[in-house]
Structure 1
Amino acid sequence: MEPVIEIAAIDNDQMLLEGMATWIAGVPDIRLVATAPSVADFLSQTVTARIVLLDLNLEDFTDPVDNVAALVHAGFTVIVITVVPDLSYILATTEAGAVAYVAKTSNLTNLADVVRAVARGDSPLTTEHAFWLGRDDRPDRPELTPREHEVLVAYGRGMTVDAVARRLGIAAGTVRTHLERAKQKYAEAGRPIRHRGQYGERIREDGLGRERLPGPGSNPPARTEEQGPLTA
């Protein structure tokens, strides 16, 4: 008898979750043991499953790359599922550690095959995933130093210069210097940063920000009052 593969699902579509649970109940080797409408709710649970089906675009407007990174950091294996494919996020979530991508238009038998492959330790490439990875036409990215990368990501996510300095344990003036250097490198690459919001645009375009910023604790840093709103 094949061992039972336990999975969890994070999706705010309750009808989809109920339908998935009904379907999986008839699959002898796969069991849905936990569901949640958001990554935060999921991570607050004690879950035995290590494979997670994650909706790419949750209604709480959390960043898909951050969601994948948080789950991977917590030790879960992530399969991304979505209705509307977003090329930039499919590429970035793959780089963030998602092992597979399945369109919600795909049939459930295909999803089961992907789950089984992932359980074996494979990273199955579906037809849709291969198609979107093949369309990676993102522009060349400037070569940033590790510190420039950290500063750019933190500032691009909405933190103030002073908050970035405290987070990284450096002076505010040093933060400004790193931002200016990163800004210059982007200008030299033909992708100038002309206003505050474009720092966030660049980190999303280039799939940056998957790493946990230095700081106390073992979890990815939560947003605080020191941080402004995320850029659109």
Structure 2
Amino acid sequence: MEQLIEVAAIDNDQMLLEGMATWLASVPDIRLTATARSVADFLSQTVTARIVLLDLNLEDFTDPVENVATLVDTGFTVIVITVVPDLSYILATTEAGAVAYVSKTANLTVLADVIRAVARGDSPLTIEHAFWLGRDNRPDRPELTPREHEVLVAYGRGMTVDAVGRQLGIAAGTVRTHLERAKQKYADVGRPIRHRGQYGERIREDALGRERLRGPGNHPPVGE
């Protein structure tokens, strides 16, 4: 007898959740054992399933990338599902740790095959996922250190140098140093930052800033 695969689903479409539960009940090796309409609601439950089917765009307007990152950080394996593909979010959620992407227009048999592959430890690539990954035409992005990334995002969101330093637990002079290094790296890839507003433009263009910033008590060693 095949081992039973437990899955959970997070989607604001209650009809879809109920339909999925009914359909999976006829599949001998997969069971939908937990559902929720938001990530917060899901994390408030005690669940045994470790594979989560996550709707890309929930109606609570939470950030799709942060949703994936939160679930991954909590120990879940995430399969993203959506009816309306958003290229920037598909790329960013993949980078945030989603192991597979399935369109809601796909046959449910495809979803079952993806679930089985993920349960085996694979990262299956559906035709739709391969298509969207192949359309990654984002501009060249510099390789920032984690600290440069944090400083750039905070400053690009409008914080002052002093405020960034207080949030990250580093001196204002160190903040300026990281900003200068990030600025030089963008110039090196042909995307110079010439004025304050362009810091914000770069974090939007490169889908940065969707991760939670670390607090003063949890930051890289000095000089990182």
Using the size of structure 2 for normalisation, the TM-score is: 0.85
- Give 1 or 2 for the bigger CA radius of gyration: 2
Residue 92 of structure 1 corresponds to: 92
Distance of 1:158 and 1:18 partners within structure 2: 43
1:144-163 → structure 2 map (5 Å cutoff): 144-156=144-156, 161-163=161-163
Q: Would the alpha carbon gap of residues 216 and 192 (structure 1) be closer, same or farther in structure 2, given more than 3 Å must change? A: closer
Distance of 1:150 and 1:211 partners within structure 2: 9
Percentage of pairs with the same residue: 86
SS at match of 1:101: strand
Quote how far apart the aligned CAs of 1:22 are. Answer: 1.2
Are 1:133 and 2:109 matched, yes or no? Answer: no
Distance of 1:21 and 1:191 partners within structure 2: 51
Matched residue count: 217
1:188-199 → structure 2 map (5 Å cutoff): 189-190=190-191, 192=193, 194=195, 196=197, 199=199
Distance of 2:73 and 2:61 partners within structure 1: 20
Query: Please, which moves more after superposition, 182-191 or 137-146?
Result: 182-191
Are 1:11 and 2:26 matched, yes or no? Answer: no
Distance of 2:163 and 2:72 partners within structure 1: 26
Quote how far apart the aligned CAs of 1:3 are. Answer: 1.0
Deviations 1:169-206 (A, max 9, x none): 1134533453354345435522647555x545533432
Distance of 2:93 and 2:205 partners within structure 1: 12
Are 1:77 and 2:72 matched, yes or no? Answer: no
Q: Would the alpha carbon gap of residues 38 and 184 (structure 1) be closer, same or farther in structure 2, given more than 3 Å must change? A: same
Residue 113 of structure 1 corresponds to: 113
Do the aligned residues in 1 keep the contact of 2:183 with 2:192 (CA within 8 Å)? no
Quote how far apart the aligned CAs of 1:167 are. Answer: 3.0
Are 1:41 and 2:58 matched, yes or no? Answer: no
SS at match of 2:68: helix
Do the aligned residues in 1 keep the contact of 2:9 with 2:32 (CA within 8 Å)? yes
Quote how far apart the aligned CAs of 1:47 are. Answer: 1.1
Are 1:53 and 2:58 matched, yes or no? Answer: no
Distance of 1:11 and 1:194 partners within structure 2: 41
Residue 31 of structure 1 corresponds to: 31
Let me know the Cα RMSD of the aligned residues.
2.5
SS at match of 1:80: strand
Quote how far apart the aligned CAs of 1:164 are. Answer: 3.1
SS at match of 1:141: coil
Q: Would the alpha carbon gap of residues 217 and 10 (structure 1) be closer, same or farther in structure 2, given more than 3 Å must change? A: farther
Do the aligned residues in 2 keep the contact of 1:88 with 1:205 (CA within 8 Å)? no
Distance of 1:43 and 1:199 partners within structure 2: 34
Do the aligned residues in 2 keep the contact of 1:95 with 1:207 (CA within 8 Å)? no
SS at match of 1:40: helix
SS at match of 1:147: helix
Unaligned runs of 5+ in 1: 219-232
Do the aligned residues in 2 keep the contact of 1:151 with 1:164 (CA within 8 Å)? yes
Q: Would the alpha carbon gap of residues 193 and 39 (structure 1) be closer, same or farther in structure 2, given more than 3 Å must change? A: farther
Do the aligned residues in 2 keep the contact of 1:56 with 1:82 (CA within 8 Å)? yes
Distance of 1:178 and 1:168 partners within structure 2: 12
Do the aligned residues in 2 keep the contact of 1:8 with 1:34 (CA within 8 Å)? yes
Using the size of structure 1 for normalisation, the TM-score is: 0.82
